[in-house]
Amino acid sequence: MPATRVLVLNSGSSSVKYQLLDMAGPTRLAMGLVERIGEAGARLVHSPTGGERRERQQPIADHEAALRAVEEELAADGMGLDSPELAAVGHRVVHGGQRFSAPTVVDEEVLAEIERLVPVAPLHNPANLTGIRTARSLNPDLPQVAVFDTAFHTTMPEHAARYAIDVETADAHRVRRYGFHGTSHAYVSRRTAELLDRDPADTNIIVLHLGNGASASAVRGGRCVDTSMGLTPLEGLVMGTRSGDVDPAVVFHLSRVAGMSVDDIDTLLNKRSGLLGLCGDNDMREIVRRREEGDERATLAFDVYVHRLKKYIGAYSAVLGRVDAVAFTAGVGENSAPVRQAAVEGLEELGLALDTQLNTVRGDTPRLISPEYARVAVAVVPTDEELEIAAQAYSLVSR
């Protein structure tokens, strides 16, 4: 029997999400989540496709214990890490620096390089590393493939990747713009070209990945030429709890005037800002509901969010010169008709327009929401990062 299955692991700071996919379909065989790792109330939810959802509440001390519990659930369905159908484990790795521009089979040297990148991704890379090491210990013969969030953005030209700061200092500390959500931007830009029935190599697309984290990218001919996240996922759009772009002097100001430490300001900008900081909610559903009731702070949060989005659509229209499509994706992008409508409103001079009727139709497949006459197609394209990670990992090990 050919090995066509890939287990995708997304190890976050206190959670592990996983999916088992059969690339012969592709079909999803199982998915699940371990959350609150190392905290009270840890639990695992396992959902085999076509089978009964199972939930366990038990102490789960660390990522190693989490993966062992996942392995037990998969093995109970005959789909454990030692099953011969499994071709690889695909790991989401957040930071691949400048070096990793493609999925990579993990060996000691690759692990060491991911480790060297911990200072630029202190929240994410350590969890990703633990995930890889544990999966490897469960089946040392199975290829472990790292798929990097930054990889799609390594094609950015130097003038887009550089901050205008002293070159020696920047290079000594790897300070440059890397970008994130790359797997999603790659997948969605490709699917958008397919939706338009165009060759990706001849299509220019702005992708707006609007989830709890949010980022925009400018994609020319299938290659990223600019993206809104930078050294870390803090730069760019307004997000659920992250500020996105601020004047860096805000940091000095808060340090000098408010006596806040660097760690305090880090927490402020990453965890207590964005939509949450503006109005106390980070869920766009709730914000839209409050705004409809006339709530002023929710309205302000919505307006700040949309204003920033519009600025990036304008900026990336200028970067690309010619735009064929704008694609909305992720939790907010796929589901919030009011955000899409407000973001596109007033951009007719840039060639954008919405069919308000189409915009409100819900669905889980890629679709156009612009009228036929519009010069720039506007699309809703559901992202599928797990499928993209599995596809990239599988293409590497099945050669």
Site for ligand AMP, rule CB under 6 A: 211-212, 240, 282-285, 330-332, 335-336
Structural tokens at position 1: 């029997």
CB of 283 to ligand AMP, least distance (A): 4
Give 305 or 316: the residue with its C-beta nearer to ligand AMP.
Answer: 305
Give 143 or 182: the residue with its C-beta nearer to ligand AMP.
Answer: 182
Distances (CA, A) of 221 to 101, 382, 395: 17, 20, 21
CB of 332 to ligand AMP, least distance (A): 5
CB of 362 to ligand AMP, least distance (A): 9
Q: Which of 149, 281, 324, 384 is catalytic?
A: 149
Cα 132 from Cα 229, distance rounded (Å): 25
Nearest residue (beta carbon) to ligand AMP: 331
Structural tokens at position 15: 């959670």
Determine how many CB atoms are found less than 10 A away from the CB of residue 231. Answer: 18
Structural tokens at position 313: 């659509």
Give 42 or 332: the residue with its C-beta nearer to ligand AMP.
Answer: 332
CB of 341 to ligand AMP, least distance (A): 12
Give 222 or 240: the residue with its C-beta nearer to ligand AMP.
Answer: 240
166 is catalytic: no
For residue 49, give the amino acid letter.
T
CB of 12 to ligand AMP, least distance (A): 12
CB of 33 to ligand AMP, least distance (A): 12
Smallest Cα–Cα separation from 66: which of 35, 40, 93? 35
Give 15 or 335: the residue with its C-beta nearer to ligand AMP.
Answer: 335
Cα 280 from Cα 274, distance rounded (Å): 9
Give 97 or 274: the residue with its C-beta nearer to ligand AMP.
Answer: 274
Angle among Cα 245, 293, 370 to the nearest 5 degrees reads 60
**Side-chain-side CA neighbours of residue 361 (13 Å):** 15
Give 69 or 284: the residue with its C-beta nearer to ligand AMP.
Answer: 284
CB of 339 to ligand AMP, least distance (A): 7
- Annotated active-site positions, please? 149
